[in-house]
Structure 1
């Protein structure tokens, strides 16, 4: 209840906010400034200037804008909460399962209160207490609350580990849906209301965005603004985490049994199993959950629980086995809690590599030699598609490579006509004998040792349409790591200009990602799909957007477009043809951009499902609005 009418538009608090003066005073504290400087240097070294700017502006905004993060994090206005309570939404009973173990009393009280304050009334709080005899207080409070509110179920159990304790909660729960809540975290007051609405609309698995706060709930530790469901990303890390709600029938279909072998990664294993069978997965693009970061909490870093990494590998391997995907998970380099999968190949299909070229034989030579050196797979052919070269040395070079025994199955075909990237690749594809096509710019230098093999291992999957690589500028910053729709009214490259060693937002640079599109500078696809889609669009997208258009046609058919960080290369972007910044090239680019918007404005205007509306759409850096 509001204390006075003028507060009705204020967000509901999770923690009492400091005054503006107090925040400014804390900001200028020498210890705070020292900590800020240290973290800024680390961010600059590991993630680059764009990420540093993102962090600094956000944190300074918190200091000087009263209650700023609460606005950012979607806490609803008090009048909204009152309206939700008055609505008395009818829906399934949601059993909130909480394994309790030696929980500090202040944390336990706040957790319980966050459930009691829910605007949705049809819930059950299931407290499975495995605390030792030195920590009786949570149990004493829980028994007292259960005696007053029959929606609270408390049971004292033997400690069998987090997986077994959670399973005990599943068995005790009687609701038509189940939610997971850690014993030291909090729900926003509208959390179950939002989830119940999604369940009423037919969802059987629901998850939301979240933030990480310090133990005292006053300091922002991070934010997890997630994409819509992305199966490859979920194999790469448990990006769903909190809040997750799922129907009892879905849980029963996968078996609510004890999986102690996945202790530490039990939620990751559970979400992998649930999403395999879910019929409708809904991502609520609002923060509904506060993950409390403190010593020993996974929110403070996976280094606190190294056994969880080993369990995560086993969980991913188990899913691969269930799905019949031959592969092996491994920890992602320099990214604790993230994983990569090396898939096995099915046979030895021929791959046709299409490389358009005009002069610039030094670039082409570097591209070819790096390809033959680092393909990691020998059953491929190369078709250099000659287009309007004027330097006689270019044709001498063609004769040289055709006779070079170190470049087997390399041939040159001649496309006569004005530069049209789409038409050139379509022309080359007609000469290709391979089951798979690899579109490759001549200004690519391949770096990873099994480049073609890695791309092929994904392109062979029946659920994949196109596969893209991790491309760097020559200064070792990111040029391409997947394509985001909506950037500057069209599309842009994910994490563009981040340092090569950066892990990206929620490990998205070092884990395989599902995106709406990948760049045609390096794109592998099945030849039969290429023919079915009519190749690249020669009419509306002669030079720009043809790759994104091709990928979107695949995506609309239900296929995944995948970015893999294990295929790495330099891209000396547009070096041989030049950029579209002046004259007729610029006018042609604007025409193609307009055509692209007219065709795909639905995703340009309403946000890419693999991005998040909390992020701005002016830049590719995952910066906040």
Structure 2
């Protein structure tokens, strides 16, 4: 048997190359790897290698990746297993082959690709892929079914385990979202390829998913007849509880590109349904306002913004909601044309700070007429709607219908942005914030920055920084605070958790001697919550700032911004925009419910991008923010008992604290006007030891028990958006709210 092939390289304990027999075209060779005459590994040469076929060798299915551990310099022999025919020999050298030597070998690249498919969760195939010879490059990966590319993604996402494993800078993870047509309950075999390099795994991955989720399958299998059987009914209820937990902890989603199919499945409408025009001109708007002022006028009035079109059934749906909820204002979701398709704008429930920063309720809104009777003549529906909404204040009787009721055909534009700014200024002045400044930062999209007045008496801040050794980190954090902070009174408290390095101890002693900061010793195992609690007890400030030791300040006016928000009685905590050193966002608010727990928003977004409908550019309310940079009143922190050091010593204590603040009615404000670099978890490392894994699981289980009522219903996150992976990146399968429009 003649064998043609080539060993391209050896890296990450993997032998990579290609081999085939011209005498047995179409047959896949089983290869045996021998060292010193002893078999040490085997593999099948059946991986996709179209580059080899293009060079005139084989049929494109002759690649191999054989896992084998070889010491440096080890000679090896590769044979065809059934006949013992020598395929080739190879020395495991430190340098790469150049791929150009030898007979009829084609000139192939030497920069081999390494990767792995880690798991399949819901509709997403997750893994990593990189070129060891070019660690700064990012590889495109493709999911293939029956030789057809069905999904693509760049392997450019950061993952902590890849950092620890030395896979470049850790930014080589990928998430492949399978298309909607693959979610029909049929199993398909999927191969994941690195573009131009072939498959990154040896065996096909079975993929099976149903768009309606596991609970819908149970509903289809259950009939009224079999539910009359007590034993069957009990079994069904138990299975339903189990599937609810599965759906909560392993949520599924689909990409925004499949929104038309996703929406059609929910509403029973066709993808080409055209919304109906329903908009009054400006004189008509004023006439309507005059009409409802009459004693026998309408009880409710629907306001449709200029450029908005109603979907069939939208008015009926919002009227149905009006009859079942106790609210004065009702608004829905909308979609709008983007790049030749439709993009859904799934909004949060009433979000006061977001409304001040962005006109996020545009589309169809229903008002009690009594609310509009006190409003003067308005030049636009935008001005009318915003005046009425903002009069409700932070905790208004406002209900959100998480269903797409209208389509927006255009952005607000300069004129409507001017009207919106006017409405916001009027509202702030009515609250007594006469010195507030409202700046339009994007006229086309109608985005605003609101600068609340600073307190008449500037507060004193206590900035609390836990640390243990890692002098370069904590020194950079303190130096940046001292160098950049302007117009603020503050102290720095460093909680030292058993630092041992002499240079760290010298720096701490010298800084304390010179009055740069106070040092509080913490001679106990690491407990982030308890360390901060002890420092808070000794703090002198009226405002506490919890700051990680692995941050660096960017915004010099950060304390002024925090003080202005905490001067507002409705605000309980303020969080910051944190960015990685490579420019990617690390934190832009926390969404509760991701994987049944919580996750930072927008970690796949660059600081120069805008995120989902500009959320990374504007201030808004979230359910929680991270304590890598979190401000709150010392009095509130004391009343709530601080962080939960008993049940949440390391993780989720900041989320838990914010949720307890929210239970008191307080708002959690996230703002991009406070910005820092955050080198996440650099100082402690990852939770990968058995002890840390056990502790992390205990904390996760505690959070699921304490906040199970919020795990699927974060009011600041739309139930139509994904809860798997990074929030705001896809559509929930199924949605956590049943749609009624069109049904």
Q: TM-score, structure 1 length as denominator?
A: 0.71
Aligned to 1:479: 586
Match of 1:318 among 408, 411, 426: 426
For the residues of structure 1 that align with 2:682 and 2:469, how far apart are their CA atoms?
11
Distance 2:394 2:673 in 1: 28
Match of 2:453 among 337, 344, 349: 344
Aligned position for 1:564: 671
Distance 2:701 2:463 in 1: 31
Match of 2:693 in 1: 586
Query: Quick one: which of 523, 539, 543 aligns to 1:436?
Result: 543
Q: Which has the higher contact order (CA 8 A, sep 6+)?
A: 1
Q: Which residue of structure 2 aligns with residue 177 of structure 1?
A: 300
2:635 is the alignment partner of 1:528: yes
The reply on whether 1:388 has 2:509 as its aligned counterpart is no
Which secondary structure does the structure 2 equivalent of 1:284 belong to? Answer: strand
Question: How big is each residue's C-alpha offset from its partner over 1:419-443, in whole Å with a ceiling of 9 and x where there is no partner?
Answer: 1001100111111011110000111
**What's the counterpart of residue 552 of structure 2?**
445
From 704, 708, 714, the equivalent of 1:608 is 714
- The residue number in structure 2 matching 1:507 is 614
CA distance in 1 between counterparts of 2:289 and 2:510 reads 69
Partner deviation per Cα, 1:451-496 (whole Å, 9 max, x = no partner): 1211222122110111100000111101111100011120000111
1:166 equivalent to 2:285? Answer yes
Give the 3-state SS of the residue equivalent to 1:602 in structure 2.
coil
Distance in 2, matches of 1:65 and 1:489, equals: 22
Q: 2:392 maps to which residue?
A: 275
**Kept in 1: contact 2:578–2:677 (CA 8 A):** yes
Does the alignment pair 1:206 with 2:314?
A: no
Matches within 5 A, 1:283-302: 283-291=400-408, 293=409, 299=410, 301-302=411-412
Matched, 1:328 2:437: yes
Contact 2:308–2:363 (8 Å) recurs in 1: no
Alignment pair present for 1:238 and 2:429? no
How has the CA–CA distance of structure 1 residues 59 and 495 changed in structure 2, closer, same or farther, with 3 Å as cutoff? Answer: farther
Aligned to 1:469: 576
**Pick from 566, 579, 596: which aligns with 1:489?**
596
Q: Which residue of 1 aligns with 2:383?
A: 266
Q: d(CA) in 1 for partners of 2:258 and 2:603?
A: 31
Q: Distance in 2 between matches of 1:196 and 1:288?
A: 12
Q: Secondary structure at the match of 1:603?
A: coil
User: Looking at CA atoms only, which structure, 1 or 2, has the larger radius of gyration?
Assistant: 2
| 1:375-429 deviation per Cα after TM superposition (whole angstroms, max 9, x unaligned) | 2233111111111111121110012222447x3xx21111121110011001111
Deviations 1:306-351 (A, max 9, x none): 2333333222211111122342111236974101111221111111
TM-score with structure 2 length normalisation? 0.60
Distance 1:383 1:467, change over 3 A: same
- Are 2:276 and 2:311, in contact at CA under 8 Å, matched by a contact in 1? no
Relative to its length, the structure with more strand (as a share) is 2
* Residues 335 and 404, structure 2, Cα contact 8 Å, conserved in 1: yes
Q: Answer with 548-557 or 187-196: which moved more.
A: 187-196
Give the direction of change, closer, same or farther, for the CA distance of 1:55–1:236 in structure 2 (3 Å limit). Answer: farther
List per-residue Cα deviations over 1:94-139 (Å, max 9, x = no partner): xxxxxxxxxxxxx9x9425xxxxxxxxxxxxxx755xxxxxxxxxx
1:363 aligns with 2:473: yes
Matches within 5 A, 1:90-109: none
1:545 correspondence with 2:655: no
192 and 274 in structure 1: CA distance in 2 versus 1, 3 angstrom threshold: farther
Distance 2:288 2:678 in 1: 52
Q: What's the CA shift string for 1:560-609, capped at 9, x where partnerless?
A: 011010000000111111121232111101110010001111111x2311
- Tell me if the contact between 1:483 and 1:517 (Cα under 8 Å) persists in the aligned partners: yes
Alignment partner, residue 86 of structure 1 = none
- In structure 2, C-alpha distance between the alignment counterparts of 1:279 and 1:354, rounded to whole Å: 35
Paired residues, what number? 483
Which residue, 166, 188, 197 being the options, matches 2:320?
A: 197
CA distance in 2, matches of 1:55, 1:67: 10
Deviations 1:503-554 (A, max 9, x none): 1212211111101110011110000000000010011000011000000000
Given that residues 591 and 714 in structure 2 are in contact (C-alpha distance below 8 angstroms), is that contact kept between their aligned partners in structure 1?
yes
- What is aligned with 1:132? none
Contact residue 455 and residue 469 of structure 1 kept, 8 A:
no
Aligned partner of residue 413 in structure 1, secondary structure: strand
Query: Residue 509 of structure 2 corresponds to which residue in structure 1?
Result: 399
Per the alignment, in what secondary structure is the counterpart of residue 692 of structure 2? helix
1:77 aligned to which of 238, 245, 268: 268
Aligned residue for 1:550, secondary structure, equals helix
Q: What SS is found at the alignment partner of 2:286?
A: helix
CA distance in 2 between counterparts of 1:342 and 1:60 reads: 48
> How far apart in 2 are the matches of 1:66 and 1:399?
57
| Structure 2: runs of 5 or more not aligned | 1-151, 158-170, 184-254, 732-743
**For the residues of structure 1 that align with 2:257 and 2:451, how far apart are their CA atoms?**
47
CA distance in 2, matches of 1:416, 1:65: 50
- Provide closer, same or farther for how the CA distance between residues 428 and 348 of structure 1 changes in structure 2, counting only shifts above 3 A: same
- Which residue pairs with 2:343 in the alignment? 222
Q: Which position in structure 1 is the counterpart of 2:75? A: none
1:206 and 1:265, CA in 2 relative to 1: closer, same or farther beyond 3 A?
closer
Deviates most, 65-74 or 327-336: 65-74
- Equivalents in 1 of 2:540, 2:563: separation in Å? 16
Tell me, what secondary structure is at the counterpart of 1:276?
coil
Q: Please, which of 372, 384, 390 is the counterpart of residue 482 of structure 2?
A: 372
Q: Secondary structure at the match of 1:356?
A: strand
Matched position secondary structure for 1:432: coil
Q: Distance in 2 between matches of 1:351 and 1:183?
A: 46
